Amino acid sequence: MAWAKKILRVNLTKGTCASEPLNMEWAQQYLGQRGLATKYLVAETDPKVDPLSPENKLIMTTGPLTGTMASTGGRYSVVTKGPLTGAIACSNSGGYFGAELKMAGWDMIIFEGKSPKPVYLWIENDKAELRDAAHLWGTTTWHTEEAIKAAHQDPQIRVASIGRAGENGVLYACVVNDLHRAAGRSGVGAVMGSKNLKAVALRGTVGVSGVRDFKAFLKATTAAKKVLADNAVTGQGLPKFGTQVLMNVINEIGALPTRNANDVQFEGARNISAEAMHEKRPSDGKANLITNSACFGCTIACGRVSQVDKNHWSVVNSPKYWGATGGLEYENAWSLGAANGVDDLDALTVANMICNEDGMDPITFGATVSAVMELYQMGVLKKEQIGIESPFGSAQALLEMAHMTAEGRGFGKELALGSARLTKKYGHPELSMSVKGQEFPAYDPRGIQGMGLTYATSNRGACHLRSYTVASEVFGIPVKTDPLATEGKPDLVKAFQDATAAFDSSGTCIFTTFAWTLGDLAPQLDAACEGGWSLERLAEVGERIWNMERQYNLAAGLTAKDDDLPKRLKTEAAKSGPAKGLVSGIDKMLPEYYKARGWTADGVPTKDTTKRLGL
Amino acid sequence: MQKSLHIDPNKCTGCLQCEMACSYENYGSFNIAKSRIKVFNFESAGRKVPYTCTQCAEAWCLHACPVDAIRIDAATGAKVVHESVCVGCKVCTIACPFGTVNYVADTGKVQKCDLCGGQPACAEACPTGAITFVESDWTGLGKMRQWAEKTDTQPRA
């Protein structure tokens, strides 16, 4: 079995680390990673718990394919109750940390309680202990990783940590691993900070030996890798352009939320696109993009490695930003750029670096800045309150706000709340482009209707990674649907949600689904794991996970009223592009979606549904 | 015809498929800590470089071994550690100028790349062609071809 079959339970209050067997009965029902860790959270915590209290738990979890030769088999997730949303939080990350956890012999780590003082968890294979982190508290994720490697005199250690954002309770703080990979959304880093847990450092030399049938596994993974290599998106588009391949495409179809979703097209999109990253800057004759890079095991390699002009005004006095680093992904280029009307590519790259360095979600951060810029434009917020003139389009304001939020000073403490709380405080909750308190990402539901339903029903608050119907509505994967139509979208969203939940529980990356279906994943899992893993079974596991998350949210106090989009998307029509004149048809789609899900008109899973899924 | 591992760092993405393939070939598990090829990540330069034994013709490791545990595989030209003979003295790890022979505490022996008997698993697993197994006498052929393509001897108008 590709599971390590072992859990590490860390009680931070008592300072203890204990090994226990993985519940294999649950593994057969929930597979691993997202599904299995959520099952543990559901079983062990009260859904009404305060997310930032010691009673909340935080789980770092791998999937059965994490740490294997399956392409993209390096993923791990952080599962907890999210402080930004009050809903289930499950944030997925790549890099090398997840595989190292598995190679140390662990499927997951469950953190409970709260440490009396800052600590980090040190794992060397089966040995695990909490160590003092007083000297690391107040420092960045970059410094923390470097300091831990130096202290242990081992450059091969992998580290996941929080920066100052997580310590300061920024409600969208993330957990950063391998310098620029992040379990990004819903504030999982703030939960880690609330527990006084600064970092997890790993060295794993046990490896993964429990694959059920190695020969069949290598045959299946080799075939699946070929599918990725032969596909135009995963074999050519993503390695060359990264997710940024989307910038010009989404702008052209009029679905690029611009200036806090006042517009759906951004006149500066070209300047912050993948194509622009490849071009030589006039200032120093070098391109922003240096090369692409892969996470552990990934044969796609969509990652961006970028370097800004040393003489750019934002870094001229900050040599630490001069080196190569994780470059802009589409979501970040949008949230920091188009969402705020900023089209300075190097400035966006630097803002992204600050988010990595101090561990905050660039999507929620950028979308919060755009709400602030709109409040500034309306005259509700003044320069004196923010600390800098903040009109749409100001890269200076963007970077100053990034610094003040990361460092927890001045107006940064208000930015730390996210847009829902901040706009409410200043009397304009309608200006928060969020669902369940979490800001939606880079696809405007007026121009891509399926994404409206995706955002409204996502269990972790607005998110594109729970059902990426853009694949179908824009790229025709697996079938082309009309992005401007609502018909058929409820069934499409449900199918994507269930399949995605299965992928997120396997240890592989959702980006494989540009080429893979569950039919490509199943033979790999089946060769790796005992139990007979078919496409149909994976779809059912996905549906079970989705409904379990829904039940958790309902028990936490969320209702159908929380499955709604910001008013702007329902009442202010798109001003330009193919979607001109359209609003989101969410009100038409939602009842049909509930029905397709086997839920009541109030969005509650019926007894038949829960019984069918064994919940 | 003898073949050599040939590495083009510019093509490496850092996915570590090579390290997993190496460990599986030699230990039957996915365990990059046991890989004989290592990918080094130079973060601030944005460079990733796979590195392993180049199978020196005059192999320092082989000459340094006091018990003759490192021998040449006549078919592949690989310098191969014979575990049953190796006493774990580690002199070869000192002799190797490149650090590609290393001690394995679990077994008490040293390990190094042995070209997998002529079918290197790392090269087979590499998705980008950063690691290839090519004719020893012509490891420069690919680069020559690239430069040849750029050479323009046509008279200009």
CATH 1.10.599.10 boundaries in chain A: 444-612
Handedness of CA A35, A37, A40, A41 (dihedral sign): negative
The answer, yes or no, to whether residue A237 has pLDDT greater than 90, is yes
Assigned CATH for A444-612: 1.10.599.10
pLDDT tens for A42-93 read 999 999 999 999 999 999 999 999 999 999 999 999 999 999 999 999 999 9
CATH 3.60.9.10 boundaries in chain A: 6-203
| Mean pLDDT score of chain B | 95
Proportion of chain A above pLDDT 90, given as a percent: 100
Judged by DSSP in three states, A421 sits in helix
Is the Cβ of B14 closer than 8 Å to some Cβ of chain A? yes
Spell out the alpha helix ranges (H) of A135-187: 141-151, 164-167
Plot region of A222 (φ>0 → left; ψ -120 to 50 → alpha; else → beta): alpha
Proportion of chain B above pLDDT 70, given as a percent: 99
Proportion of chain A above pLDDT 70, given as a percent: 100
pLDDT band for A1, please (50, 70, 90 cuts): low
- Find, among A257, A217, A249, A285, the residue nearest to A73 by Cα: A217
Topology given in CATH for the domain delimited by A6-203: Aldehyde Ferredoxin Oxidoreductase;  A, domain 1 (3.60.9)
Closest-CA residue of B relative to A323 is B44
Give A371→chain B minimum CA distance, Å: 34
The rounded distance, in Å, linking the Cα atoms of A521 and A230 is 16
Is the Cβ of B3 closer than 8 Å to some Cβ of chain A? no
pLDDT tens for A469-517 read 999 999 999 999 999 999 999 999 999 999 999 999 999 999 999 999 9
pTM of the model: 0.97
If you classify domain A243-432 with CATH, what class do you get? mainly alpha
Is the Cβ of B46 closer than 8 Å to some Cβ of chain A? yes
Q: Which two tokens stand for residue A116?
A: 């009396």
pLDDT tens for A241-299 read 999 999 999 999 999 999 999 999 999 999 999 999 999 999 999 999 999 999 999 99
The answer, yes or no, to whether residue B68 has pLDDT greater than 90, is yes
pLDDT band for B1, please (50, 70, 90 cuts): confident
As to burial, measured by CB atoms within 10 angstroms (0-12 exposed, 13-18 middle, 19+ buried), residue A28 is middle
CA atoms within 13 Å, Cβ hemisphere of A457: 33
pLDDT band for B152, please (50, 70, 90 cuts): confident
CB A64 within 8 A of CB A221: no
CATH 1.10.569.10 boundaries in chain A: 243-432
| Mean pLDDT score of chain A | 97
Closest-CA residue of A relative to B127 is A299
pLDDT band for B157, please (50, 70, 90 cuts): low
The rounded distance, in Å, linking the Cα atoms of A390 and A401 is 9
- Find, among B5, B1, B3, B2, the residue nearest to B123 by Cα: B5
In Å, how far from its chain's centre is CA A538? 22
CB B22 within 8 A of CB B122: yes
pLDDT band for B63, please (50, 70, 90 cuts): very high
The answer, yes or no, to whether residue B156 has pLDDT greater than 80, is no
Q: Which two tokens stand for residue A224?
A: 């699946």
Give A300→chain B minimum CA distance, Å: 9
The answer, yes or no, to whether residue A215 has pLDDT greater than 80, is yes
- Best A157, A209, A349, A509 member to test B by mutation, with max B CBs in 10 Å, is A209
The answer, yes or no, to whether residue B91 has pLDDT greater than 90, is yes
Helix (H) or strand (E) holding A455: helix A449-457
The confidence score (pLDDT) of residue A514 equals 96
Amino acid at B2: Q
Closest-CA residue of A relative to B20 is A69
pLDDT tens for A570-597 read 999 999 999 999 999 999 999 999 999 9
Which residues in A have their CB inside 8 Å of a CB on B?
A: 67-69, 71, 96, 99, 103, 156, 179, 204-209, 211, 214, 218, 225, 229, 239, 290-299, 301, 303, 305, 307, 323-325
pLDDT band for B155, please (50, 70, 90 cuts): confident
B9 chain-A contacts, CB cut-off 8 A: none
The rounded distance, in Å, linking the Cα atoms of A248 and A271 is 10
Cβ contact A211–B30 (<8 Å): yes
The answer, yes or no, to whether residue B121 has pLDDT greater than 90, is yes
The confidence score (pLDDT) of residue A524 equals 98
The rounded distance, in Å, linking the Cα atoms of A277 and B110 is 45
Q: What is the mean pLDDT of residues B102-117?
A: 96
The confidence score (pLDDT) of residue B154 equals 76
Q: What is the mean pLDDT of residues A348-353?
A: 98
Contacts of A331 (CB under 8 A, 6+ apart): A243, A362, A363, A441, A442, A464
Cβ contact A209–B28 (<8 Å): yes
The answer, yes or no, to whether residue B75 has pLDDT greater than 90, is yes
Closest-CA residue of B relative to A96 is B15
The confidence score (pLDDT) of residue A115 equals 98
- Find, among A110, A138, A126, A108, the residue nearest to A198 by Cα: A138
Residue where the block lists tokens 């969203």: A493
Q: What is the mean pLDDT of residues B83-106?
A: 97
The confidence score (pLDDT) of residue A186 equals 96
DSSP string covering A426-460, please?
Answer: TT-GGG--EETTEE--S--TTTSHHHHHHHHH-TT
